Amino acid sequence: MTTKQWRLFWRTPISHGARNCWWRLLIQKLPTQEALRHVNPDSMNPGWCKICNKQVEDAQHMIIECPLKKSYWNAAKTIVKLDFNIADLWDILTFRKTIDKEAMIHVSDILLVLWIHHWHCYIKEELWNTTHAIRRFRKQLWNKGENFHGQEITTMYEEYLAKHTDQDQDPNLVE
């Protein structure tokens, strides 16, 4: 990322929760299953995505490429009338392609709900349901301007990470 791209990122008026997730994406520190595999007691597991169970969950898979998440992006994009091609989404998220400010804000809203719903599924061990994710997204649009569970989800995933770190410290502890 160039200084100019970072400036654009910090100047875009997006919610705290969305910025948290997006920033992790930009510094390549998303807690994907692939990144967390070293704390997994089963070293044979390369970090499978627990949403689709079909591919390794790296950053692109976590945010866009998981088929279930892709359907969420497509649906959410239609709701807020974003007209870019879904194939350009990763370039937009990594500032290789620019879109106008309003569109950036909508992308951040979609991203935040994806992040919240992702952790909801992982922590509650529920299957991804795009209809539920879209319901969350509509609710967020409705509540716009309020705090949309940004803090709640940060706490949830920190607890999740702490739990996995414990397993790392004690290899005998298997759930």
Give contact residues for Zn ion (rule: CB under 5 A): 49, 51-52, 66
Cβ at position 128, least distance to Zn ion in Å: 8
Nearer to Zn ion, 25 or 66 (CB): 66
Q: How far is the CB of 49 from Zn ion (least distance, A)?
A: 3
Of the pair 64, 93, the CB lying nearest Zn ion is at 64
Q: Cβ 48 to Zn ion, closest distance in Å?
A: 8
Q: How far apart are CB 52 and Zn ion at their closest, in Å?
A: 3
DSSP the chain: --HHHHHHHHHS---HHHHHHHHHHHTT----HHHHGGG-S-TT---B-TTTSSSB--HHIIIIISHHHHHHHHHHHHHTT--S-GGGHHHHHTTSS---HHHHHHHHHHHHHHHHHHHHHHHHT----HHHHHHHHHHHHHTBTB--SHHHHHHHHHHHHHHHHHHHH-TT---
Q: How far is the CB of 16 from Zn ion (least distance, A)?
A: 27
Shorter beta-carbon distance to Zn ion: residue 49 or 59: 49
Please identify, using beta-carbon distances, which residue of 93 and 104 lies nearer to Zn ion. 93
User: Which of 14, 63 has the CB closer to Zn ion?
Assistant: 63
